């Protein structure tokens, strides 16, 4: 039995669509997990500091001073690495 090429193209498109939907489903599951982790963290911080705004501000200040050098290092590596466009990739000596 000879199958017309148009039917094969449609079948191939369905297989590619199925693979694409499986990848989207995996990303959706990981997004949902990350979302709920952030939600639980947010609720823990808000409930912990709901009575005292001064402690919340102090916690935010300390956390920002701890995280900012890490963000700066990651930003520097991103700008000077092979991830950027060649025109804007400046090599520091």
Same domain, 55 and 24: no
CA distance 44 to 48: 6
pTM value?
A: 0.49
For residues 65 and 23, membership in a common domain is answered with no
Tens-digit pLDDT profile for residues 42-53:
899 888 888 888
Same structural domain for residues 44 and 60? no
Q: Which residue has the tokens 């639980």?
A: 40
Segments of the chain with pLDDT less than 50: none
- C-alpha 44/C-alpha 56 separation (Å) is 12
Round to whole Å and give the CA distance between 52 and 57: 9
- Do residues 4 and 39 share a domain? yes
Q: 40 and 3, same structural domain?
A: yes
Question: How many domains are contained in the chain?
Answer: 2
Domain range spanning residue 66?
A: 50-93
């Amino acid at each position: 039995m000879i199958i017309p090429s148009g039917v094969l193209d449609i079948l191939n498109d369905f297989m590619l669509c199925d693979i694409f939907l499986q990848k989207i489903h995996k990303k959706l599951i990981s997004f949902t997990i990350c979302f709920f982790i952030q939600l639980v963290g947010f609720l823990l911080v808000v409930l912990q500091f709901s009575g005292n705004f001064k402690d919340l501000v102090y916690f935010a200040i300390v956390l920002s001073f701890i995280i900012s050098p890490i963000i700066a290092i990651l930003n520097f590596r991103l700008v000077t690495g092979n991830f950027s466009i060649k025109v804007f990739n400046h090599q520091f000596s």
